[in-house]
Chains A and B, each alone.
Chain A
Amino acid sequence: MTSNTTKKAGPDLGKAFKDAILAGIIAFALLGPLIGLKTDQNMDNQLVLVNNMPVALIFVALVMVGRFLLAAFIYPAIAAKGAKSKAAVSLAELEAKAKRTKRLSLGGLVFLFVYPMLILALFGVQGSIKWVDNFGVQILIYVMLGWGLNIVIGLAGLLDLGYVAFYAVGAYSYALLAINFHLSFWVLLPLAGILASFWGMILGFPVLRLRGDYLAIVTLAFGEIIRLVLINWKDFSGGSAGISSIPKVSLFGLYSFDMGATNNFAKAFHLAASSAYYKVFLYYLILLLALLTAFVTTRLRKLPIGRAWEALREDEVACRSLGINTTNTKLTAFAIGAMFGGFAGSFFAARQGFVSPESFVFMESAVIVAIVVLGGMGSMIGVALAAVAMIGGTELLRELSFLKAVFGDDFNPDQFRMLLFGLAMVVIMVWKPRGFISARQPTAFLFEKKTISGDLVKEGHG
C-alpha cells in the first residue's frame, strides 16, 4: 500500500479510490463483527447479540475516507516534502534552533512556577483544586517518571518495561514505613529512593547480559512478579485491597495539612479550610522533585558515567573494547533511574493516601515508556512535552462530558482514554520514529561544536 507519487504531478485519484475500497472491505470484515455485533447479557444472563451495524458502517466509512485522503493527498505531500528536506541543514540553523529550545524551556520553567498562582487567581481557592491536582500534579508525576526512566532508556539505551516496579517499591516503602513506624515523609523520601535503587540493582544484576528485546521482556516479567507478590502476600502489603490512610506530607514538620491538627496550615494563616492549599503544596513539591531529576540528569551527562551511558547506548561492543566497565555502567543506570522512580512513588503514596497493586500494572510502565520514546529518547524537553500532551490530553478527555448531549447518556469519553493513548503511540512511532524532538546535543565534541539529527545515528536508540 505504498503510494507511487514521485512520477506524477497531480494526485492519482483512481488508485486512491481503489485503495479506499480495499480498506473499506477490510474494515468491514473486521469492524462489522467487532462493533456491529455487540455481545450483551439479557435478562436471563444469557449472552445475546445486539445489532449495532449502523455504528460499524460509520466507522467503515471513516476508514474509507481517511484512506482515500491519505493515498490521494497526504502521502504525495509527504513524499514531495521528503525529497526537498533531504538537503543538509546548516550548522547556524541548528544552533539557532538550540537557542530557541533553551529560551522555550526557560519560559516553560517560569510558567510552571507561576501556574498554581495563576489558577488560584483565575478559579478561586475551591475551583483551583481540579486544575492544580488533575492537570498540574498528575502531569508532573509523569514528567518526573519520564525523566527518571529517560536515564535508563534514553541515556543508557536499556529498554526497561518494568519501571513501574520501582515506582511501586517507593510507594509501598513510604506507605508501610509511615504507617508502621510513624516516620515523616522527609525521612522516608530519601529512604524510599535508596530502597528503590537497591531493587534496581537487584533486578539489574541478572539482566546485565541481555540486550534489546530480551531485556525488555525480562524487566516486564520482573514488574509483573513484584505486582503479583504485592497482590498475594496479604500479610505484608494488604493484598489487592491495598493500604489506606497513608499520612500526608507536612510542610517540613512546621505546618500540617491534616484538618484536625493544631498546627493546621490554613488555621495558622487564618485561611478558609480547603484542601486546595495541600494540592498547591504538592504541586511545588513534585515540581521540585522533577527539577531535581532533570538537574541530576543534565549534570550526570557531563560526568564520565554519563558519557559511558551514552557510549553504551550507541555501541556496547565498542564500549567494552574501549575498557568501559559495562557492568557498573548498566547497574548505575538502573539504580539511579530506579531511585527517581522511588521518589516519585513515595510522593504518589503521600498524595493519594492510598496504594494498591492496581496502580502498578504493566500499562503504567507502557505509558511511561511511551512518554520517553515519543518525546525523543534522551531529550529532556521532549519527554516533558510528551508527558503534557499524553497525560494532559487524556485528562482532558474526562472534561468532555458535554459530548453526552450529542451521543447520548451511554457515551463515556473516559473509556477512550487508553484507546487514544495506544493509537497515539502507533501513529507517532510510524510518523516520527525518533520522537517529537530527535536532534541531540552531543556531550563530547571533537574540534568543533555541532548538533546532529537523531536520524543520522545508526544503532543509537535515542
Chain B
Amino acid sequence: MEVFIQQVINGITIGSLYGLIAIGYTMVFGIIGMVNFAHGDVFMVSAFFALIFFLALTAWLGIASITITLLIVMVISMVLTGLLSWAIERIAYSPLRGSFRLAPLISAIGMSIVLSNFVQVAQGPRNKPIPPMVRETFTLWENNGYAVTISLKQVIIMAVTAVLLVAFWYMVQKTALGRAQRACEQDRKMAGLLGINVDRTISLTFVIGAALAAVAGTLYLMYYGVVHFADGFTPGVKAFTAAVLGGIGSLPGAVLGGLLIGLIETLWGQYVSADYQNVAAFSILVIVLIFMPQGLLGRPEVEKV
C-alpha cells in the first residue's frame, strides 16, 4: 500500500509535467488542426534556456536564494520559449496555412530535427547535470519501515501546475484573447469576418503553449537535475498521448490525460516491468486512438464531405 501511494505521488508529479506540455499540443490542434510535432523539442529547448540562465544567475551573478533564482529562470525561459515558438510558427507553419494537409506536419517534423540537432551542435552532445536546487523531503507517514515521502520538488511542481492551470483557465474563459481563441477554434473564417485577427490569435496560441511548455521544462530541470538534447522526443510523444487520451482539443482533457499517463507509467514501471515503461505509454496511445479516437473529454469528430 505504501509503495502504491508513493508511486501515485511520483506519477502525479510526472503527470503534471505531461499535462503542461499536452496543453500546447491540444490548443494548437484545436485551433488549426495540426499536430505540432516540434512541441516536444520546444520543451527541451526551454529546459536548456532554464539551465543556461540558472548557471548565469548562480555562478555569474551569485544569487543565493533558490526561490528567486527559480522564479527568474522560469520567467526568462517562458519569455524566450514563447519567442522561439512565435518565430517557428512564422517561419515554418504560417506560410503553409491553406496548403495541403500534411505539409505543416512535415514542416514540423523538420523543425523538430532542426531544434534537437541545433542544441546538440551549440551546447554539446553530453548530459547536462546541475547540482540539486531543492533538497527537502517530507515524510508523510511510516509503516513497517517503509516511509511514504513527498519531496519539496514534487510539492513545487504540483503547486505551480495547479496555479498555472487556474490562471490559464481564467484566460481562456474570461479574457478577450481566450474568446478569440475559442471563436477561431469553432470557425476560423467566420471569426475573421467578425473582426478577430486570426493570424495574431494563432500566433499567440503557439506562444502560450510554448510558455506552458517552458514552465514544464524548468520544472523538469529542477526535478531531474539533468537535461540532454534528445530529451524532447519521448516526453513530447507522451504529452501528445496525454492530449489524445484526454480528447484532443479539450483543455481539461489534456491535464487529465497527462495525470493518467503519468500514473500509468509509474505504476507500470513499479508493478509490471521497468524496461517496458515506454512501450506501455506508446501502447496506450495506439489503443486510445484505435478504440476511442475522441478521447475521454473530447467531442467525436464529424466526417464532413
**A joins B in a complex:** yes
Chain B proximity of A224: nearest CB distance (Å): 5
Chain A proximity of B291: nearest CB distance (Å): 9
Chain A proximity of B15: nearest CB distance (Å): 19
Chain A proximity of B243: nearest CB distance (Å): 10
- In the bound complex, what is the Cα–Cα distance between A421 and B115 (angstroms)? 12
A393 at the interface (CB under 8 A from B): no
Q: Report the tally of A-B residue pairs with Cβ distances under 8 A.
A: 175
Q: Which residues of A contact B99 (CB under 8 A)?
A: 433
Question: Are A210 and B290 touching (Cβ within 8 A)?
Answer: yes
Question: Are B92 and A220 touching (Cβ within 8 A)?
Answer: no
Question: Are A317 and B123 touching (Cβ within 8 A)?
Answer: no
B118 at the interface (CB under 8 A from A): yes
Contacting residue for B290 out of A48, A206, A229, A423, CB 8 A:
A206
**Chain B, Cβ-Cβ closest to A428:** B110
Contacting residue for B289 out of A37, A217, A232, CB 8 A:
A217
Q: Which residues of A contact B109 (CB under 8 A)?
A: 366, 369-370, 425
Chain A proximity of B95: nearest CB distance (Å): 5
CB pairs A–B below 8 angstroms (18 shown)? A30-B80, A33-B52, A34-B48, A34-B52, A40-B124, A49-B52, A159-B102, A209-B290, A214-B289, A366-B109, A366-B113, A369-B106, A415-B117, A416-B121, A426-B107, A426-B111, A430-B96, A433-B99
Question: Are A429 and B113 touching (Cβ within 8 A)?
Answer: no
**Chain B, Cβ-Cβ closest to A207:** B290
B91 at the interface (CB under 8 A from A): yes
Known: A33-B53, A218-B289, A369-B109. 11 other contacts (CB 8 A): A33-B49, A33-B52, A37-B52, A39-B52, A209-B290, A216-B35, A366-B113, A369-B106, A419-B121, A425-B106, A425-B110
B105 at the interface (CB under 8 A from A): yes
Q: Which residues of B contact A429 (CB under 8 A)?
A: 92, 96, 103, 106-107, 110
Question: Are B83 and A26 touching (Cβ within 8 A)?
Answer: yes
Most buried by B among A318, A362, A421, A422: A422
B172 at the interface (CB under 8 A from A): no
Question: Are B282 and A225 touching (Cβ within 8 A)?
Answer: yes
Q: Which residues of A contact B285 (CB under 8 A)?
A: 217-218, 221
- In the bound complex, what is the Cα–Cα distance between A23 and B102 (angstroms)? 28
> How does the 8 Å CB contact mask read for A401-441 relative to B, with 1 for contact and 0 for none?
00000000000000110110111111001100110000000
A54 at the interface (CB under 8 A from B): no
B155 at the interface (CB under 8 A from A): no
- In the bound complex, what is the Cα–Cα distance between A218 and B101 (angstroms)? 17
- In the bound complex, what is the Cα–Cα distance between A218 and B105 (angstroms)? 14
Most buried by B among A29, A34, A48, A225: A34
B279 at the interface (CB under 8 A from A): yes
| Given contacts A33-B53, A214-B289, A317-B303, A228 and B105 within 8 Å (CB-CB) | no
Report the 6 A-B pairs with minimum CB-CB distance, sorted nearest first. A425-B110, A422-B113, A422-B114, A419-B117, A426-B110, A429-B107
> How does the 8 Å CB contact mask read for B125-149 relative to A, with 1 for contact and 0 for none?
0101111000000000000000000
Question: Are A214 and B123 touching (Cβ within 8 A)?
Answer: no
Question: Are A425 and B107 touching (Cβ within 8 A)?
Answer: yes
B87 at the interface (CB under 8 A from A): yes
A contact residues, range: 35 or more
Q: Which residues of A contact B293 (CB under 8 A)?
A: 209-210, 214
- In the bound complex, what is the Cα–Cα distance between A421 and B56 (angstroms)? 32
Question: Are A47 and B55 touching (Cβ within 8 A)?
Answer: yes
How many B residues face the partner with a CB closer than 8 A?
67
**Chain A, Cβ-Cβ closest to B240:** A217
Q: Which residues of A contact B290 (CB under 8 A)?
A: 206-207, 209-210, 218
Chain A interface, DSSP helix/strand/loop, else mixed: helix
- In the bound complex, what is the Cα–Cα distance between A366 and B103 (angstroms)? 14
A298 at the interface (CB under 8 A from B): no
Question: Are B45 and A430 touching (Cβ within 8 A)?
Answer: no
| Given contacts A423-B110, A430-B96, A221 and B90 within 8 Å (CB-CB) | no
Question: Are B237 and A49 touching (Cβ within 8 A)?
Answer: no
Question: Are A39 and B114 touching (Cβ within 8 A)?
Answer: no
Q: Which residues of A contact B124 (CB under 8 A)?
A: 38-40
- In the bound complex, what is the Cα–Cα distance between A415 and B130 (angstroms)? 25
Q: Which residues of B contact A424 (CB under 8 A)?
A: 110
**Chain B, Cβ-Cβ closest to A214:** B289
Q: Which residues of B contact A245 (CB under 8 A)?
A: none
B60 at the interface (CB under 8 A from A): yes
Question: Are A39 and B123 touching (Cβ within 8 A)?
Answer: yes
Considering only residues 306-346 of chain A, those with a C-beta below 8 Å from chain B are 317-318
- In the bound complex, what is the Cα–Cα distance between A429 and B56 (angstroms)? 37
Question: Are B56 and A37 touching (Cβ within 8 A)?
Answer: yes
Contacting residue for A228 out of B56, B80, B282, CB 8 A:
B282
Question: Are B80 and A33 touching (Cβ within 8 A)?
Answer: yes
Question: Are B129 and A47 touching (Cβ within 8 A)?
Answer: yes
- In the bound complex, what is the Cα–Cα distance between A35 and B121 (angstroms)? 9
Contacting residue for B114 out of A48, A419, A459, CB 8 A:
A419
Question: Are B102 and A461 touching (Cβ within 8 A)?
Answer: yes
| Given contacts A40-B124, A222-B286, A232-B276, A26 and B87 within 8 Å (CB-CB) | yes
Chain A proximity of B68: nearest CB distance (Å): 19
B278 at the interface (CB under 8 A from A): yes
Q: Which residues of B contact A423 (CB under 8 A)?
A: 110, 114
B51 at the interface (CB under 8 A from A): yes
**Chain A, Cβ-Cβ closest to B130:** A47
> How does the 8 Å CB contact mask read for A154-178 relative to B, with 1 for contact and 0 for none?
0000010000000000000000000
A300 at the interface (CB under 8 A from B): no
A373 at the interface (CB under 8 A from B): yes
A1 at the interface (CB under 8 A from B): yes
> How does the 8 Å CB contact mask read for B162-205 relative to A, with 1 for contact and 0 for none?
00000000000000000000000000000000000000000000
| Given contacts A49-B60, A421-B113, A422-B114, A224 and B106 within 8 Å (CB-CB) | no
Question: Are B106 and A461 touching (Cβ within 8 A)?
Answer: no
Chain A proximity of B71: nearest CB distance (Å): 18
Q: Which residues of A contact B278 (CB under 8 A)?
A: 224, 228
B34 at the interface (CB under 8 A from A): yes
Question: Are A370 and B110 touching (Cβ within 8 A)?
Answer: yes
| Given contacts A1-B90, A49-B60, A434-B100, A228 and B240 within 8 Å (CB-CB) | no
**Chain A, Cβ-Cβ closest to B199:** A2
Q: Which residues of A contact B43 (CB under 8 A)?
A: none
**Chain B, Cβ-Cβ closest to A431:** B95
| Given contacts A366-B109, A430-B92, A29 and B100 within 8 Å (CB-CB) | no
B122 at the interface (CB under 8 A from A): yes
Question: Are A47 and B56 touching (Cβ within 8 A)?
Answer: no
B266 at the interface (CB under 8 A from A): no
Question: Are B101 and A461 touching (Cβ within 8 A)?
Answer: yes
> How does the 8 Å CB contact mask read for A225-236 relative to B, with 1 for contact and 0 for none?
100110010000
| Given contacts A218-B286, A224-B282, A362-B233, A49 and B56 within 8 Å (CB-CB) | yes
**Chain A, Cβ-Cβ closest to B55:** A49
Q: Which residues of B contact A118 (CB under 8 A)?
A: none
